[in-house]
Amino acid sequence: MSETITIRDFKLEDYMALVHLWQQVGLPYKPKGRDAKEKIAREILQPTAIFLVAESDDRIIGAVLGTQDGRKGWINRLAVAPGFRGQGLGRRLIEAAEQRLEEAGIEIVACLIEDWNTISQAVFTKCGYSRHDDIHYFSKRKNADV
């Protein structure tokens, strides 16, 4: 990476740039639910939230959103702008989130990746994550927007 890239904490002022990044890379965006600006504003105030962005020339080019529940850490979303892929930025974002989780005493980090997202599957595999086909994911949602 020839450009200077800084990884820093997400600020609410970054919200629209983050949404644009998610849209650019094809990640789901639920503006009436979990991705509403008000919900993210509440979430980033929690000590369990790890929201980081990668910035170059005052532009958000990557992001990782993580949480932890006291015993396990979760990387919930990783996004890298197409022009910056293949340069190790995804790995840097994952490692930054893992470092924050380690500082909180978390020793297990997990992520859930949809089967269609083969790019993320490859990135996490390269970063040492193991796929568990014997685990089935269940969820209960208040509505489709969450």
Which of 141, 137, 121, 119 is CA-nearest to residue 129? 121
Q: What is the pLDDT of residues 24-56, one digit of tens each?
A: 999 999 999 999 999 999 999 999 999 999 999
Q: Which domains does the chain have, with CATH numbers?
A: 6-126 (3.40.630.30)
Give the rounded percent of residues in the chain with a pLDDT score beyond 70. 98
Backbone phi, psi, residue 49, to 5°: -90, 140
Q: What is the pLDDT of residues 63-98, one digit of tens each?
A: 999 999 999 999 999 999 999 999 999 999 999 999
Task: Say what the pTM is.
Answer: 0.91
Residue 1's pLDDT is 47
Residue 40's pLDDT is 97
Question: CA 83, CA 68: separation in Å to the nearest integer?
Answer: 30
As a whole number of angstroms, the longest Cα–Cα distance in the chain is 45
Half-sphere exposure at residue 92, Cβ-oriented, CA atoms within 13 angstroms:
19
Mean pLDDT of all residues belonging to the chain: 94
Integer angstrom CA distances of residue 114 from 12, 39, 74, 100, 120? 27, 23, 15, 24, 9
User: Is the Cα dihedral 33, 70, 72, 94 positive or negative?
Assistant: positive
